[in-house]
Protein backbone atom coordinates (compact mmCIF):
# COMPACT_ATOMS: atom_id res chain seq x y z
CA UNK A 1 0.00 0.00 0.00
CA UNK A 2 1.42 3.37 -1.01
CA UNK A 3 1.29 6.20 1.48
CA UNK A 4 -1.07 8.93 0.41
CA UNK A 5 -3.14 6.67 -1.87
CA UNK A 6 -5.08 4.49 0.53
CA UNK A 7 -8.61 5.70 1.15
CA UNK A 8 -9.78 2.47 -0.48
CA UNK A 9 -9.13 -0.54 1.68
CA UNK A 10 -9.51 0.99 5.12
CA UNK A 11 -11.02 -1.35 7.65
CA UNK A 12 -14.63 -0.51 8.63
CA UNK A 13 -13.53 0.70 12.05
CA UNK A 14 -10.92 3.00 10.55
CA UNK A 15 -13.42 4.28 8.01
CA UNK A 16 -15.80 5.20 10.82
CA UNK A 17 -12.94 6.73 12.80
CA UNK A 18 -12.16 9.00 9.87
CA UNK A 19 -14.96 11.39 10.75
CA UNK A 20 -13.43 11.92 14.19
CA UNK A 21 -10.09 12.96 12.81
CA UNK A 22 -9.62 16.73 12.57
CA UNK A 23 -6.50 17.42 10.65
CA UNK A 24 -5.34 21.02 10.39
CA UNK A 25 -1.61 21.25 9.93
CA UNK A 26 -2.40 24.73 8.70
CA UNK A 27 -3.06 25.62 12.35
CA UNK A 28 0.68 26.21 12.48
CA UNK A 29 0.06 28.56 9.59
CA UNK A 30 -3.44 29.96 10.24
CA UNK A 31 -5.00 32.76 8.22
CA UNK A 32 -3.57 35.53 10.34
CA UNK A 33 -0.10 34.02 10.14
CA UNK A 34 -0.39 33.60 6.38
CA UNK A 35 -1.48 37.20 6.00
CA UNK A 36 1.46 38.39 8.06
CA UNK A 37 3.88 36.28 6.05
CA UNK A 38 2.62 37.66 2.73
CA UNK A 39 2.72 41.23 4.02
CA UNK A 40 6.22 40.69 5.40
CA UNK A 41 7.42 39.27 2.07
CA UNK A 42 5.84 42.14 0.14
CA UNK A 43 7.55 44.71 2.35
CA UNK A 44 10.88 42.92 2.03
CA UNK A 45 10.64 42.72 -1.78
CA UNK A 46 9.66 46.36 -2.11
CA UNK A 47 12.50 47.39 0.17
CA UNK A 48 15.13 45.30 -1.64
CA UNK A 49 14.01 45.25 -5.30
CA UNK A 50 14.17 48.08 -7.80
CA UNK A 51 11.62 48.47 -10.60
CA UNK A 52 9.22 46.08 -8.93
CA UNK A 53 5.77 45.65 -10.46
CA UNK A 54 2.73 43.71 -9.31
CA UNK A 55 3.20 40.89 -11.80
CA UNK A 56 6.81 40.37 -10.81
CA UNK A 57 5.89 40.56 -7.14
CA UNK A 58 3.14 37.96 -7.57
CA UNK A 59 5.60 35.65 -9.32
CA UNK A 60 8.22 36.09 -6.60
CA UNK A 61 5.69 35.35 -3.86
CA UNK A 62 4.02 32.49 -5.71
CA UNK A 63 0.53 34.00 -5.47
CA UNK A 64 -2.07 35.11 -8.00
CA UNK A 65 -1.79 38.59 -9.48
CA UNK A 66 -5.19 39.56 -8.07
CA UNK A 67 -4.13 38.48 -4.60
CA UNK A 68 -0.90 40.46 -4.87
CA UNK A 69 -2.91 43.52 -5.88
CA UNK A 70 -5.25 43.07 -2.91
CA UNK A 71 -2.36 42.83 -0.45
CA UNK A 72 -0.64 45.86 -1.94
CA UNK A 73 -3.84 47.87 -1.53
CA UNK A 74 -4.04 46.70 2.09
CA UNK A 75 -0.45 47.80 2.69
CA UNK A 76 -1.23 51.19 1.15
CA UNK A 77 -4.29 51.60 3.40
CA UNK A 78 -2.23 50.74 6.47
CA UNK A 79 0.39 53.29 5.50
CA UNK A 80 3.17 50.76 4.88
CA UNK A 81 3.64 51.54 1.17
CA UNK A 82 3.65 54.67 -0.92
CA UNK A 83 2.76 54.38 -4.60
CA UNK A 84 3.98 56.83 -7.22
CA UNK A 85 2.88 56.73 -10.85
CA UNK A 86 5.64 56.55 -13.44
CA UNK A 87 4.64 57.11 -17.06
CA UNK A 88 3.58 55.33 -19.10
CA UNK A 89 1.04 53.60 -16.83
CA UNK A 90 3.61 52.25 -14.40
CA UNK A 91 3.91 52.53 -10.65
CA UNK A 92 6.82 52.70 -8.26
CA UNK A 93 6.46 51.32 -4.74
CA UNK A 94 8.30 52.63 -1.70
CA UNK A 95 8.34 51.66 1.95
CA UNK A 96 7.20 54.37 4.32
CA UNK A 97 8.89 54.71 7.74
CA UNK A 98 5.87 52.89 9.16
CA UNK A 99 6.30 50.16 6.55
CA UNK A 100 9.96 49.72 7.45
CA UNK A 101 9.02 49.41 11.12
CA UNK A 102 6.34 46.83 10.30
CA UNK A 103 8.75 44.85 8.14
CA UNK A 104 11.21 44.72 11.03
CA UNK A 105 8.50 43.69 13.50
CA UNK A 106 7.13 40.92 11.27
CA UNK A 107 10.61 39.59 10.55
CA UNK A 108 11.44 39.44 14.25
CA UNK A 109 8.10 37.73 14.93
CA UNK A 110 8.76 35.18 12.19
CA UNK A 111 12.21 34.35 13.59
CA UNK A 112 10.85 34.01 17.12
CA UNK A 113 8.09 31.68 15.92
CA UNK A 114 10.62 29.64 13.93
CA UNK A 115 12.94 29.17 16.90
CA UNK A 116 9.99 28.33 19.16
CA UNK A 117 8.76 25.74 16.67
CA UNK A 118 12.24 24.21 16.41
CA UNK A 119 12.53 23.91 20.18
CA UNK A 120 9.09 22.30 20.49
CA UNK A 121 9.86 19.85 17.71
CA UNK A 122 13.22 18.90 19.24
CA UNK A 123 11.69 18.23 22.66
CA UNK A 124 8.70 16.30 21.33
CA UNK A 125 10.70 14.04 19.01
CA UNK A 126 13.20 13.39 21.80
CA UNK A 127 10.32 12.34 24.05
CA UNK A 128 9.04 9.94 21.38
CA UNK A 129 12.48 8.36 21.01
CA UNK A 130 12.63 7.87 24.77
CA UNK A 131 9.23 6.17 24.61
CA UNK A 132 10.47 3.86 21.85
CA UNK A 133 13.55 2.92 23.86
CA UNK A 134 11.45 2.29 26.98
CA UNK A 135 9.12 -0.05 25.04
CA UNK A 136 11.96 -1.88 23.31
CA UNK A 137 11.03 -0.49 19.90
CA UNK A 138 14.60 -0.15 18.77
CA UNK A 139 14.14 -0.08 14.98
CA UNK A 140 12.27 3.09 14.09
CA UNK A 141 11.18 4.63 10.79
CA UNK A 142 10.41 8.28 10.14
CA UNK A 143 7.31 8.96 8.04
CA UNK A 144 7.82 12.01 5.85
CA UNK A 145 10.45 14.06 4.08
CA UNK A 146 10.16 17.56 5.48
CA UNK A 147 11.69 20.15 7.79
CA UNK A 148 10.21 18.16 10.66
CA UNK A 149 11.98 15.05 9.43
CA UNK A 150 15.24 17.02 9.40
CA UNK A 151 14.77 17.80 13.09
CA UNK A 152 13.61 14.29 13.98
CA UNK A 153 16.59 12.65 12.30
CA UNK A 154 19.05 15.16 13.73
CA UNK A 155 18.19 14.30 17.34
CA UNK A 156 17.72 10.55 16.92
CA UNK A 157 21.43 9.91 17.45
CA UNK A 158 21.09 11.10 21.05
CA UNK A 159 18.83 8.17 21.94
CA UNK A 160 19.11 4.41 22.26
CA UNK A 161 17.19 3.60 19.09
CA UNK A 162 18.12 3.02 15.46
CA UNK A 163 16.53 4.80 12.52
CA UNK A 164 16.18 2.26 9.71
CA UNK A 165 14.21 4.09 7.00
CA UNK A 166 12.22 7.09 5.89
CA UNK A 167 8.73 6.38 4.56
CA UNK A 168 7.61 8.68 1.74
CA UNK A 169 5.80 7.86 -1.50
CA UNK A 170 6.40 11.17 -3.27
CA UNK A 171 10.14 11.64 -2.81
CA UNK A 172 12.37 11.10 -5.83
CA UNK A 173 15.61 10.33 -4.03
CA UNK A 174 16.74 6.94 -2.80
CA UNK A 175 18.07 8.23 0.51
CA UNK A 176 17.35 11.07 2.93
CA UNK A 177 20.03 12.04 5.44
CA UNK A 178 21.70 8.73 4.65
CA UNK A 179 18.59 6.65 5.38
CA UNK A 180 16.89 4.53 2.70
CA UNK A 181 13.60 5.97 1.49
CA UNK A 182 10.78 3.46 1.08
CA UNK A 183 7.35 4.19 -0.37
CA UNK A 184 5.30 1.99 1.93
CA UNK A 185 5.32 -0.32 4.91
CA UNK A 186 5.46 -3.30 2.55
CA UNK A 187 9.15 -3.90 3.08
CA UNK A 188 11.55 -6.52 4.32
CA UNK A 189 12.84 -4.06 6.89
CA UNK A 190 11.97 -4.97 10.46
CA UNK A 191 10.28 -1.80 11.77
CA UNK A 192 9.19 -1.67 15.41
CA UNK A 193 7.61 1.80 15.35
CA UNK A 194 6.98 4.74 13.04
CA UNK A 195 7.25 8.39 14.03
CA UNK A 196 5.29 10.87 11.95
CA UNK A 197 7.20 13.85 10.57
CA UNK A 198 4.94 14.73 7.67
CA UNK A 199 3.44 18.09 6.77
CA UNK A 200 1.80 17.66 3.38
CA UNK A 201 -1.27 15.40 3.05
CA UNK A 202 -0.98 14.60 6.72
CA UNK A 203 -4.41 13.01 7.04
CA UNK A 204 -3.96 10.56 4.16
CA UNK A 205 -0.54 9.43 5.23
CA UNK A 206 -1.48 8.98 8.85
CA UNK A 207 -4.42 6.76 7.96
CA UNK A 208 -2.22 4.72 5.64
CA UNK A 209 0.16 4.07 8.48
CA UNK A 210 -2.68 3.14 10.83
CA UNK A 211 -3.95 0.67 8.26
CA UNK A 212 -0.49 -0.90 7.97
CA UNK A 213 0.63 -1.05 11.60
CA UNK A 214 -0.74 -1.15 15.11
CA UNK A 215 -1.79 2.43 16.02
CA UNK A 216 0.05 2.24 19.34
CA UNK A 217 3.30 1.98 17.38
CA UNK A 218 2.60 5.01 15.21
CA UNK A 219 3.84 7.92 17.25
CA UNK A 220 2.80 11.50 16.58
CA UNK A 221 4.30 14.62 18.17
CA UNK A 222 1.76 16.93 19.78
CA UNK A 223 2.63 19.72 17.35
CA UNK A 224 0.96 17.70 14.58
CA UNK A 225 -2.81 17.98 15.11
CA UNK A 226 -3.74 14.32 14.70
CA UNK A 227 -6.27 13.18 17.27
CA UNK A 228 -5.11 9.60 16.93
CA UNK A 229 -6.19 8.63 20.43
CA UNK A 230 -9.81 8.78 19.28
CA UNK A 231 -9.34 5.85 16.91
CA UNK A 232 -10.79 2.77 18.48
CA UNK A 233 -9.45 -0.51 17.16
Total number of domains constituting the chain: 2
Q: pLDDT at position 1, please?
A: 36
Q: What is the mean pLDDT of the chain?
A: 81
Assess if residue 136 is contained within a domain. yes
Please check whether residues 140 and 182 belong to one and the same domain: yes
What's the mean pLDDT in 100-105?
Answer: 92
pLDDT of 37-67, one tens digit each?
Answer: 899 999 999 988 878 888 889 998 889 999 9
Assess if residue 137 is contained within a domain. yes
Residues 146/171, Cβ–Cβ less than 8 Å: no
Please check whether residues 36 and 134 belong to one and the same domain: no
Please check whether residues 131 and 173 belong to one and the same domain: yes
Q: Of 42-56, 144-158, 173-187, 215-229, give the lowest mean pLDDT range.
A: 215-229
Please check whether residues 123 and 101 belong to one and the same domain: no
Torsion of CA 179, 185, 190, 192, to 10 degrees: 90
Assess if residue 7 is contained within a domain. no
Cα 117 to Cα 73, 121, 124: the distances in Å are 31, 6, 11
Please check whether residues 210 and 132 belong to one and the same domain: yes
Domain span including residue 98: 31-109
Assess if residue 4 is contained within a domain. no
Please check whether residues 22 and 127 belong to one and the same domain: yes
CATH of the domain at 188: 3.40.50.720
Pairing of strands 81-86, 90-95: antiparallel
Please check whether residues 142 and 89 belong to one and the same domain: no
Q: In 3D, which of 144, 23, 219, 15 has the Cα closest to residue 7?
A: 15
Q: In 3D, which of 91, 92, 188 has the Cα closest to residue 139?
A: 188
Please check whether residues 153 and 47 belong to one and the same domain: no
Q: Of 136-140, 142-146, 221-225, 229-233, give the lowest mean pLDDT range.
A: 229-233
127: pLDDT strictly greater than 50: yes
Please check whether residues 133 and 217 belong to one and the same domain: yes
Q: pLDDT at position 217, please?
A: 93
Highest mean pLDDT among 1-15, 128-142, 145-159: 128-142
DSSP-H helix ranges across 136-188: 147-156
CATH of the domain at 98: 1.10.10.10
Amino acid sequence: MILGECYIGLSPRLAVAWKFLKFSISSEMNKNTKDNKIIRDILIHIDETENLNQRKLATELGIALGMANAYIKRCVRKGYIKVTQIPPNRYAYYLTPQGFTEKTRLTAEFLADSFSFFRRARVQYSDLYKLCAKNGWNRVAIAGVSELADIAILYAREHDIKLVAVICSDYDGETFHGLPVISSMNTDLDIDAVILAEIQSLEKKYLCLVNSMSPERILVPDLLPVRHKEIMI
